[in-house]
Amino acid sequence: MPANVTFPALLKLMKKSLLLLSLGIFSALQLARAADITGTITLKGTPPAERELTPIKDDPNCAALYPGALPKTKFYVVSAGGELADVIVSLKGITGKSTGASAAPVTLDQKGALYTPQILAIQTGQKLIVKNSDQLVHNVHTKPAANPEANQVQMPGGADLTYTFDKPEPFLKFQCDVHPWMFAWVSVFDHPYFAVSGADGKFTIKNVPPGKYTLEAAHRKLGVQTAEIEVKDDGAAQSFTFEVK
């Protein structure tokens, strides 16, 4: 021990070290106990037919990208077995738990005069990188309800655009005013406990601390469903079925 360190100071330092060690152990135990919520989203009934994006034909540059069949809307992405994609599943009632500032960026691309993907989710403070993979001029126009609006031109081969959002918001719309058929919807959460169902209808919300929660499943066209769940050490499973009315 250095000669200039007094006993009370050493005792104080030891107490602080023990406190930090205890907090570290507690955090590690909490993380070790965290588990996943899994499930599958299915659709009952036949959804409305998707529509061809016929305005593409009015733009020669865009029409050249589709010499054959035109792309269609993707409002109901459902498999032959009824599994439903693009449903955003999240825990309700959790705020101020965002880890977005340290989370990996999420990418939204513009390719073939379409936004890809059209449905995605991020945290507050998390970077959303918007790319332009087309040899076309786009403008990225956000139409939020809770966050500030933005409208930026993006040239072919231009630099990526970066967005962050400070407030939670479901289905924040992105659109291109140059190509009015181009839309994407970004749901923003103030916590990391969410997932988007894939083409197989499956979703996984990772590393959820044990406890009782309200789980919400939201589809932009089919509405919202909720379920009460309890996450235990081995996780939890909860599925949802949406119905076309």
Q: What's at 190, amino acid-wise?
A: D
The span from the CA of 77 to the CA of 80, in Å, is 10
The whole-angstrom separation of Cα 198 and Cα 108 is 16
pLDDT at 23 over 50: no
Q: Are 177 and 141 in contact (CB under 8 A)?
A: yes
In this prediction, residue 11 has a pLDDT band, given cuts at 50, 70 and 90, of: low
For 206, the 3-state DSSP assignment is strand
Report the pLDDT value the prediction gives residue 245, as an integer from 0 to 100. 85
Give pLDDT tens digits for 36-93.
Answer: 999 999 999 999 999 999 999 999 999 999 999 999 999 999 999 999 999 999 999 9
Three-class secondary structure of residue 145 per DSSP: coil
What are 202-218's pLDDT values in tens digits?
A: 999 999 999 999 999 99
Higher pLDDT, 9 or 206: 206
pLDDT tens-digit map of 121-170? 999 999 999 999 999 999 999 999 999 999 999 999 899 999 999 999 99
Q: What is the pTM of this model?
A: 0.85
